[in-house]
Amino acid sequence: IVSSILKWGLVSGKWLSFLGYTRDETWHVQPLVVTDSKDVIKTCGSKYTFTSIIGGLKRLYESGFSSKPFAIVGLPCHIAALRKLRELKSKYVKGLGLCIGLFCSKAFSYEGLIENKLINEMKIPIASVRKMDIRKGLFTLEMDSGNIYQIPVKELQNYNHSGCSSCCDFSAELADISVGGLG
């Protein structure tokens, strides 16, 4: 759904770019400014580790797109920050159009989840992880080999991003549209 909306907006000219998030082979999450509908695929899929929206907005601004119509995809905390920046009339959100919020019950720190739990403790070759997902209380890793690892989400509580403990916005209520699922 999100990819279709974003592609439509870019192709139709409703917005000239969108700010999304991508990951590298080690599952580090980074903001990505997308201007071509063919590149929407680079932002697909859940990442589960937190990244700040400020770096993405800076990248958008430096690329010259923040004052032109743009869309954004983000977690509830990202959307709340955008709305506050809009109230403050920040140059970083001058062209802000559609805000797509993603359902979120928590995000993990990269150091905790990826480095400590998966790489150091479980000895999982992180570059071989194809997909991460949370379903029915289990954090699931699908490997390129086809192997599947499952960890009870309760075992990952120590790796929650610190801001998640005080968040009560699962559905990105300040977004124009919210998308996602739980379990």
Please list the rounded mean pLDDT of every run of 10 residues in the chain (183 residues).
Answer: 95 94 91 94 88 88 90 93 94 93 89 95 95 89 96 92 83 94 66
Adjacent-strand bridge partners of 49: 108
Distance between terminal CA atoms of the chain? Answer: 18
**pLDDT at position 142:** 96
pTM, 2 dp: 0.87
* CA–CA separation, 163 and 142 (whole Å): 27
**pLDDT at position 128:** 96
User: Which residue's structure tokens are 């923040």?
Assistant: 66
Q: Name, in order, each residue with C-beta under 8 angstroms of 155's C-beta and a sequence gap of 6 or more.
A: none
The three-class DSSP label of residue 70 is: strand
53-62 vs 76-87: helix crossing angle, rounded to 10: 50
129 contacts 141 by C-beta, under 8 angstroms: yes
* CA–CA separation, 97 and 141 (whole Å): 34
* CA–CA separation, 176 and 131 (whole Å): 27
**pLDDT at position 183:** 53
* CA–CA separation, 113 and 140 (whole Å): 12
Structure tokens at 55: 């770096």
**pLDDT at position 104:** 87
**pLDDT at position 71:** 95
Q: What are phi and psi of 21, to 5 degrees?
A: -130, 140
**pLDDT at position 181:** 78
